[in-house]
Each structure stands twice: as structure tokens, then as C-alpha cells.
Structure 1
Amino acid sequence: MTPSPATGSSTITARAEAAYLGLALGDALGATVEFMTPREIVYHFGVHREIVGGGWLRLRPGQVTDDTSMSLALGDAILASGGRVDPLACAEAFDAWMRSKPVDIGNTVRRNLLTFRRTGVAAAPASEHDAGNGAAMRVLPVALATFGQSPAAVRAAVQAQAHVTHHNVVSDAVCQFLTLAVQDLLRGCSLAETFSHHLGSLLAAHPALSFRDRPRRENPSGWVVETLQAVLQGLVDGDGFEDCLVDIVNRGGDADTTGAIAGMLAGALYGPQAIPRRWLKALDAGVASRCRAQARALLLFAA
């Protein structure tokens, strides 16, 4: 049995930190070209591969968006709840985050958090229209806090945080897949092993998520199906951490979120040694520090 971080595995802890830093780096890298088409990216950057800020949000170099800031808010809520993913604590944390006037917020997140303010109900109504990627982008704290727990416990925790803003079966399936995939990668599984463990059941239930037999997914929208297709294509085709993230964000579209999710997975897969030093230097120092600290703290609750 692979030792859990609770028993002192420095390798798993290092991969967890790399996953969190990867999320923030992919977010910061992708935000510059968010909502641009691949052709527009080529015109302005050739190949976009540096963390320079700007974009439609006019960010500072190294600044992150809602992908990272919502993840950190969720992680703080889990830590404050003693490692439990409590729906009300998650909703309150997200509401406080929204009140802080973040640089960006998705429409589905805003709408369902406003409903929470009115009703006090921590789960949004189930909706076939809420299959955006806003819950999937923030699953990492759940993956770390539930590392080593049973699949049923992981599933319950995943849905507890997701349903605050995205109560949708496709979103749920992608969130669960990403959570289990991160956990496999933290254990040292290869990408092929991880896919063999979890991808078949995902595609059997939701064949629209298939990515291998599809054309290159460019200009992916915020629909979680297109997000996952772009991310998995980039992971399969990429040659290392940097190559994967550069591929993903140069597809354009919702590039901060595809970059964040790809960075999370690639960080867990390739480990800290694969992360470019120049990117780490460019990332907001406070964000980097919080990512590292939260990764370590969340793993203390691992089974």
C-alpha cells in the first residue's frame, strides 16, 4: 500500500504542492489569452508561453483569477471544518469570497451564490443547464483532504462542494474523475494507469466527454465537456509540464480554467522538478505561499 501523507510521504507532499502551484500557474498563464481564439493568440504572441498578465482582465503579471482564488477559499473552509467538506461552510466561504469583489466570477457561480444569500440553502437546484466548469476548476482541495478515503466518501465530498454552485450530473462526473485522477497521480500512477482506473466508467456514463477520437479541441468554452476534452488532449499530447500548459492555453477560449485544471493534473503527474523556475518567479509570491501551505495542511487530513 502506498503510504499516505499522514505517515510522512515527502514525495506525495511534493506532488501535492506541485499540483497546487500548477493550478495557479496555469491560471495565471491562461488568463492573458482568455477568450482569444488560437488565431488571435498567434497574431499577438506567436506562441504564448510567459506569465505576463494583461488580458481582458488587465491583470498584473503573476496575478490569478477565480480558478485559484475559489480553490483557496474552499481549502480554507475545509481546514476550518477539521478536514470535512461541509456544504454550508463551503457556501459561506464562497459567499465571502464573492463579497470580497474578486477580479472575476462566473455567471453560474454568481447566480447560485445570490440564491444562497436569499435562501440559506447550501445546494443549488439541480439543473441541466449548469454544466459549466466552475466546480471542476476548484476540486483540488477536496482531492487532497480526502486522499486515501473510500470512493463513496470522495464522491460525497466532491458533490458537497460542487452543488453549492453547479448541481449537474455531467459536472459531478467530471469533478469526481478529476479528484480521483489527482489522487492516483499523487500516488505515482502514470497517466495511462490513471486513465485505466477511471476513464472507462466516465466515458461509459457520459460518452460526449470522449476526447481521443475528436479533432483538436480549440477555443474551448466554459462547458465542462469542452474543458475536459481540451485538458486531456493536452495532457496526452504534451511532453512535460511546460509543454502541456503551453499547448492548453494556446487553444484559447476559457484558457485560464483549462490552464488551471491542466496545471493541477500536470503538477501531480510530473512533480515539482518539472515546473519552470521562471514561471514560479513570475507567480504572485503570496499566492504561491498560500498554495504550498494549503497543500501541506490539507494532506494532514488524508486517511
Structure 2
Amino acid sequence: MSKLKSAIFGFAIGDALGVPYEFKERHTYNCTDMIGHGTWNQEAGTWSDDTSLTLATAKSIKDRGFIDLKEIRKNFEAWLYEDKFTANGEVFDVGGTTRGAIELGHGLDGFHDNGNGSLMRILPLAFTEASDEDIANVSAITHAHEISKNACIEYIHIARKLINGKKYIDDSIKYVDESEIKSGGFVLDTLKASLWCILNTDNYKDAVLKAVNLGSDTDTTAAVTGGLAGIIYGFNAIPKEWIEKLKNKELIEECLFE
């Protein structure tokens, strides 16, 4: 089983787990399984813009064989305007910076444009020879501030170490109290929360559930966590019943490039 498949399915499962709970406050619920409805009133197994844009990025790499910024942007436009790369033929969740950048035709670089919208789609680059500059440029299609670009670079470096079976992060994050872990949309908070979930669990299922149960931006935190957990634990560690529930698996398979 390819590590890319493990990573992308791990990512999509985390996304789908979090969709029903997005924006809910921590400790007001307890996610233990993949359910439907909730915040976006979607069927169980429905993934959001996080996975859609990840697949749009991966499909470009598959089709072109290299990092083609124009082709990636073209796929993003097809997603936003034509409902391509979606779980059920419908776009139902779009970040403000992402929408603005696609509509304007260039990335946004204000401090308040440091949501997690490029971090949540950058994972396919870990499986390429993309340079740090390439990673920054792919982030900058929508999120062009240095904070967002550097967060994407850090995440890809971590993912690559995991792909190669190496230790990936300073364990000090593990000992941060949960009350200090923020799980909103700020890119650095999402990265830290995801690493915290990885470090405080020892299997795929617990990692993504911990991420969902942090509250707020549940789908993205769990997706970013799930991508790394998929690499660490492998495809077979993902609960089979969750994979069975996952929507549009055929599209996910179609976008994989290894």
C-alpha cells in the first residue's frame, strides 16, 4: 500500500469525521465515530473543501508530472465554480481567503489571511521533489503571507521525515496542556494542534478523534492530523467501517499519483 494513499485517505477520513462538528465548542460533545448531519447537514462520510483542494493539487501533479501553479489554480477554479473534486457534487464550505484569492486571481498576503487554507491542501507535495520555494509558491496561490508559506514548508518537512521513518518533531509539544492548544482557523494553531494530537496518541483512530474533539475548526485539525497519522500507521490502521462510509472514494483513488 503506497504511503501517499495512506496519507490522503487518512486525511480525508479525518476531514469527514470533523465535518459534523465544525464550529462546535470543545467539551460540548464527544466524537467517537463517523456520523452525518450536524453543522453542515451532510451524510456520514462527506468530506469538505480540505480534501477537495488536496485532491485538486494531487490531480494536477498526476496530470502534469511536476508542480504547475497554473494547473493547480485551474483545478481550484473548477472546484469553486463547477463543484469538481467534491464528495457529493456540491461545494459547501469555502474559506474567505481561499475564495477571495481564487476570485481575484492571486494569493492574499495580509496578516489576517493566515488561515489554514493552504496548510490543509499542501500534503501531496511531501511525495514530490518540491523545493521549499515550490511549497511556498503553492501556498501562495491562495495564502501568500510568510507565516502561511512557512507553516506549509514545516508541515511538508515533517511529513517527509515520517515517510522516511524518521522522528519528526520536538516532543516538547506533547506536554503542552490541552487548555493551551488552540483549534481555530489560524494556520500555526492548526499545525501545533495536529502535532499535539499525534504526539499524545499511539494509533490512527485516537489521533483523529482527539483532533475532532478539540472543537472549532474540527475538520481541518483532524484532516491535517489524519494525513500525518496515515503516514505513520498506514492504510490498514484506519478503521474499515470509516473507509466504507467515506464518500466518493473513486475520485480519491483517481487523483493519487503513485
- Give the TM-score of the pair, scaled to structure 1: 0.77
2:26 corresponding residue in structure 1: 38
Provide the C-alpha distance between the structure 1 equivalents of 2:109 and 2:97, rounded to a whole number of angstroms.
12
Q: Deviations over 1:27-53 (max 9, x none)?
A: 000111110012321xxxxx3121112
1:203 corresponding residue in structure 2: none
Structural mapping, 1:196-235, within 5 Å: 211-212=173-174, 214-216=176-178, 217=180, 220-235=183-198
CA-atom RMSD in angstroms: 1.9
1:244 corresponding residue in structure 2: 207
Corresponding letter in the other structure for 1:33: Y
Whether the 8 Å contact between 1:72 and 1:291 is mirrored in structure 2 is yes
Overall identity of the aligned pairs, in %? 30
Provide the C-alpha distance between the structure 2 equivalents of 1:212 and 1:275, rounded to a whole number of angstroms.
23
Provide the C-alpha distance between the structure 1 equivalents of 2:253 and 2:77, rounded to a whole number of angstroms.
24
2:223 corresponding residue in structure 1: 260
1:139 corresponding residue in structure 2: 122
Q: Would the alpha carbon gap of residues 266 and 89 (structure 1) be closer, same or farther in structure 2, given more than 3 Å must change? A: same
Whether the 8 Å contact between 2:97 and 2:108 is mirrored in structure 1 is no
1:106 corresponding residue in structure 2: 95
Provide the C-alpha distance between the structure 2 equivalents of 1:162 and 1:78, rounded to a whole number of angstroms.
15
- Three-state SS of the structure 2 residue aligned to 1:239 is coil
- Give the TM-score of the pair, scaled to structure 2: 0.90
Q: Which is higher, the Rg of structure 1 or of structure 2?
A: 1
How many residues of Structure 1 are paired with residues of Structure 2 in the alignment?
250
- In structure 1, the gaps of 5 or more residues are 1-9, 42-46, 117-122, 200-209
- Three-state SS of the structure 1 residue aligned to 2:177 is coil
Q: CA deviation at 1:115?
A: 0.6
2:63 corresponding residue in structure 1: 80
1:89 corresponding residue in structure 2: 71
Whether the 8 Å contact between 2:185 and 2:217 is mirrored in structure 1 is yes
Q: Would the alpha carbon gap of residues 22 and 111 (structure 1) be closer, same or farther in structure 2, given more than 3 Å must change? A: same
Provide the C-alpha distance between the structure 2 equivalents of 1:213 and 1:186, rounded to a whole number of angstroms.
24
- Three-state SS of the structure 2 residue aligned to 1:25 is helix
1:188 corresponding residue in structure 2: 165
Q: CA deviation at 1:24?
A: 0.4
Corresponding letter in the other structure for 2:144: H
Corresponding letter in the other structure for 2:113: D
- In structure 2, the gaps of 5 or more residues are 84-90
